[in-house]
Amino acid sequence: MADYFGNVPDLVIDKIIEKLPIHMAAQTSVLSKPWRRAWLSLKSLMFEYDFWGQQTSLIGDNIPKLLAIYFFITMVRFTTFVLIFRVTHLMLFLSGGGIIRSTSVTFKHLDKLCLSDLNLNDSGVFHYILSMIECCPYIKTFEISVYSGENVGQNIVGFNHNYKLDHLRKITIKGITGSSEELKLVEHLLAISGSLENLFFRAGRCDTDSELKMSRALIRFPRASTKASIICLDT
């Protein structure tokens, strides 16, 4: 029987792998010998809704996937990590005694971190974000999208002001409405990013007066980088 998959050019394999979700890309390793480690060349690691399946509210069912994430990110030199996730139960696991807190993980090769659909009013999510940032000291780009959800827990935050993001050049925050938690996060990022060039923000659902008030608050925050600009994106 002809090995059709084994005759596919490496360039074509790379193009195919780039288009697939992470779990499907890993499954291509069984197609043929040239495919066996092709998925490990991925530069962007994306965990989207489809990755988690439909039982995302159950932590126990997703523990193996969380462990798979941990072992994968410590083994492969990817440069971009994207997490798109709205369910907060797993965030609580990751931030409160879970994978992130229980290890001294540093993603040395990561230069772009993207986190999406997060409720900063949830204390577990807020601490998770801080934990992820502290695991990524060499990122050059940080993107986050937030939404205004219900208050869960109390954000008693102990910021590590000794931690620095010396390589961070660009921050993009979308969906911001000016809540105290959102402003705390922005203020912290500005204070620890000595090489920051631009902070872009796009307002979420808020009226004109609230957006203006938020813009004024952002502009007034102290900045570790003297060349950092704060720029409002069109809604």
* 8 Å CB contact between 138 and 165: no
Residue 29 region by backbone torsions, left for phi larger than 0, else alpha for psi between -120 and 50, else beta: alpha
* 8 Å CB contact between 42 and 28: no
Q: What pLDDT, on a 0 to 100 scale, did the predictor assign at position 60?
A: 47
Which DSSP category does 103 fall into?
S
- Residue owning tokens 């961070």: 168
Q: What pLDDT, on a 0 to 100 scale, did the predictor assign at position 214?
A: 92
Q: What pLDDT, on a 0 to 100 scale, did the predictor assign at position 87?
A: 44
Q: What pLDDT, on a 0 to 100 scale, did the predictor assign at position 217?
A: 93
Q: What pLDDT, on a 0 to 100 scale, did the predictor assign at position 82?
A: 61
* 8 Å CB contact between 230 and 203: no
pTM: 0.70
What residues in the chain have per-residue pLDDT under 50?
Answer: 1, 55-60, 63, 86-89, 95-103
Q: What pLDDT, on a 0 to 100 scale, did the predictor assign at position 186?
A: 95
